[in-house]
Structure 1
Amino acid sequence: MSSTIECLVLSPEGECSENFGKAAALNSLDFHKNVPGYEPTKLSDLKALSKKLGVENFWIKDESSRFGLNAFKVLGGSFCLFKVICELLRLDSNRHFFKDLQAPEVAQSISKMTFITATDGNHGRGIAWSAKKLGAKCVVLMPRGTSSERLENIQKLGADAWITDVNYDATVAMAADMAEKNGWTLVQDTSWDGYEEIPTYIMQGYLTMAKEAREQLGEEVPTHVFLQAGVGSMAGAVASFLKSAYGDRAPKIVVVEPFSADCIYKTAAADDGELKVVEGDLKTIMAGLACGKP
């Protein structure tokens, strides 16, 4: 099955949220630097592609080596679980790090916690990896059409995971319902009215990737930045950070998503302040981006 891509070019105008500004990015990066196994991922300069396209430079942030999980999503999952656990245990997250939660006296309390999430794959894998590192229980729901490989990768990390018979957005609703019924903590990268704090933590975790890239570019200022979107959490966080980091020199942001799951495109194109939902099976080879609701 092929997948057609649509792009919408957005100018990062107006004030950016302090939640995703330079201070938030530094806080996220400082946290991840203290997670065992942290290394900044490469920002590769694709000189041959630059020449072919007739542009001065073309860089790609290669997340294939991130904590051995082949995805940036673990950045949001680890930062989120850390912040939530600190709140549950009444610890100051500004004075503690990931390794502090692995101390025996703290780990005993964490072992009684259960975190649940819905995922197309990489977000759930990041949550499962973080929960395993911290000794917490983890439940992961995946929408119909998820490959067995993605499911097995999460199960190998010790999570109780299975594939539902509904699409991604319905699976998110199912996870939220199970969390409420069982007294578990929902750690979802999708937000809605009344559920915004945890998604914000996840988005802030992604800022580590953007902060690394900013430092790796040095004095170079990009003219355009291409970001993929599922529900839009990574794109939103990074776009806001770039506006904060570069100010009046901020690059054009190009958000790319699957043609059959183009909820961000439809929402932006309508320009009426209302979220646009794409329903159905959302068939696309870009499995991690098959999301119908921004």
Structure 2
Amino acid sequence: MALLLNETRVAPEKWPDLLTARFGLEAVGDPRRMLQACPVHAETGLIELAGLAGELGIKRIWWKDERSRMRLNSFKALGGAYAVARQLERRMTQALKSAPEPEALIGGAASAIAQDITVTCATDGNHGLSVAAGAHVFGMRCVIFVHARVPDWRIRRIEAKGAEVRVVDGVFDDAVAKAEEMAQSQGWILVADTSPRAEDEIAGDVIQGYSQLADEIHRQLEEESAAPSHLFVQSGVGGLAAAVIAGMAARRGEDAPFSVCVDPARAPALYESFRAGKAVRSPDRGGTVMEMLDCYAPSALAWEALKRSAHAFMTVEDDTTRRAVELLAEGRGDDPAIEATETAAAGLGALIEALEDEEMRERCGLDGSSEVVLIGTEAPRRS
């Protein structure tokens, strides 16, 4: 485990226009407009884990539970499918000379346009599932690239949405390169959740879709009259961490919680970038039990947001996230038992490590009065 404090954090009013557009207060407007037309959309719960907080010696833990998100069992449902919808909307606007309502994206003129579109992306599992689900709903062809470490059950879930899945040797970044190559050569639309260009329209749409999550957390905390002091958010390429950390900074200003971007110690894309002072690719260290965070280079847009909004960058060990999964499954005191993966429990694992290390606890400002927000990003295996 390791921790770096960010002394270059700046107030949201000093962000460049690109970041304000993607992470500011108005960013959630378009994703919300699309979600209102989705019959399976519903806010996910914010659960207080009082028993676990007491055991760890802090005041409160708030757990944002993404296991039921839009029947795809992950926050990723908010990003990939939204970006697919935006691509169809843009094509229809161009063809019909007027912007369609979200309800008009299914059937009729939309189907005629969608049937000629192929979307593609690389995935560790959840993003590809979201893209495949969006393509299925709108009637597009979908080809998803996965790397060799992605388990068969995740591949089967993507295929169940009608997508073709192709396995690439190597790691996530190799699948990303292959998806980019095929999209360029075949004229497919690349719906990536990461890009080396912060201005990339589609990757930006994916991350902007996650702004719904930041908005829900903020409103739910207010409804509980909660005063969050800390936020620990896990990171792969950084999209979720950027959307939530920057989103909370935009909504709460000087009252924003001390926000920590958490990488697996064996896949520290954001941590190593912050240490280097620029976006870099970290070396492959053989994979991590946090499967959905097994990424080695950050998204450029996420990096630009996080270097301005996160208070700290941290790594967490595989063994600690296994402990976190066990703690959640047992349920402390009157807490509900929560099934989680190591990916979902990564933020809790980081909190445990920070609390157990005296120097790290002090540097993060954690004590008995701390109220911590964590995000349970996905459900466990669904066959």
Normalised by the size of structure 2, how large is the TM-score?
0.71
Mapped partners of 1:275, 1:56: distance in 2: 36
- Establish whether residue 60 from structure 1 lines up as the match of residue 66 from structure 2: no
Partner of 2:201: 197
Deviation at 1:25, TM superposition (A): 1.8
Partner of 2:167: 163
Deviations 1:242-282 (A, max 9, x none): 11100111111111111111011111123x3x212113364
Deviation at 1:37, TM superposition (A): 0.6
Within-5 A mapping of 1:6-85: 6=2, 8=4, 10=6, 12-15=9-12, 16=15, 17-18=19-20, 19-85=22-88
Partner of 2:120: 116
Mapped partners of 1:104, 1:282: distance in 2: 48
CA distance 1:105–1:26, change in 2 (3 Å): closer
Deviation at 1:95, TM superposition (A): 6.0
Q: Given that residues 168 and 174 in structure 2 are in contact (C-alpha distance below 8 angstroms), is that contact kept between their aligned partners in structure 1? A: no
Deviation at 1:213, TM superposition (A): 1.1
Q: Given that residues 151 and 163 in structure 1 are in contact (C-alpha distance below 8 angstroms), is that contact kept between their aligned partners in structure 2? A: no
CA distance 1:281–1:151, change in 2 (3 Å): farther
Identity %: 31
Mapped partners of 1:187, 1:138: distance in 2: 10
- Establish whether residue 86 from structure 1 lines up as the match of residue 89 from structure 2: yes
Task: Tell me the secondary structure at the aligned position of residue 260 of structure 1.
Answer: coil
Partner of 2:229: 223
- Establish whether residue 144 from structure 1 lines up as the match of residue 148 from structure 2: yes
Paired positions, count: 287
CA distance 1:93–1:38, change in 2 (3 Å): farther
Task: Tell me the secondary structure at the aligned position of residue 79 of structure 2.
Answer: helix
Deviation at 1:83, TM superposition (A): 1.3
Mapped partners of 2:113, 2:40: distance in 1: 24
Partner of 1:254: 260
Task: Tell me the secondary structure at the aligned position of residue 24 of structure 1.
Answer: coil
Deviations 1:113-151 (A, max 9, x none): 100100000000000011101111110000111101111
Task: Tell me the secondary structure at the aligned position of residue 218 of structure 2.
Answer: helix
Q: Which amino acid aligns with 2:101?
A: H
Mapped partners of 1:147, 1:159: distance in 2: 16
CA distance 1:244–1:148, change in 2 (3 Å): same
Moved more, 67-76 or 215-224: 215-224
Give the CA RMSD over aligned residues. Answer: 2.0
Mapped partners of 1:243, 1:46: distance in 2: 24
Moved more, 13-22 or 121-130: 13-22
Q: Which amino acid aligns with 2:246?
A: S
CA distance 1:116–1:281, change in 2 (3 Å): farther
Mapped partners of 2:66, 2:252: distance in 1: 23
Mapped partners of 2:45, 2:5: distance in 1: 25
Q: Given that residues 155 and 165 in structure 2 are in contact (C-alpha distance below 8 angstroms), is that contact kept between their aligned partners in structure 1? A: yes
Deviation at 1:10, TM superposition (A): 4.6
Q: Given that residues 198 and 204 in structure 2 are in contact (C-alpha distance below 8 angstroms), is that contact kept between their aligned partners in structure 1? A: no
- Give the number of the structure whose alpha-carbon radius of gyration is greater: 2
Mapped partners of 2:119, 2:23: distance in 1: 24
Q: 1:96 aligns with which of 98, 101, 111?
A: 101
Moved more, 145-154 or 195-204: 195-204
Q: Given that residues 88 and 110 in structure 2 are in contact (C-alpha distance below 8 angstroms), is that contact kept between their aligned partners in structure 1? A: no
Q: Which amino acid aligns with 2:270?
A: I
Within-5 A mapping of 1:117-132: 117-132=121-136
Task: Tell me the secondary structure at the aligned position of residue 261 of structure 1.
Answer: coil
Structure 2 residue ranges without an equivalent (≥5): 299-383
Mapped partners of 2:187, 2:34: distance in 1: 28
Deviations 1:211-268 (A, max 9, x none): 1111111142311111110001111122111111001111111111111110111111
Mapped partners of 2:42, 2:5: distance in 1: 31
Partner of 1:183: 187
Moved more, 234-243 or 111-120: 234-243
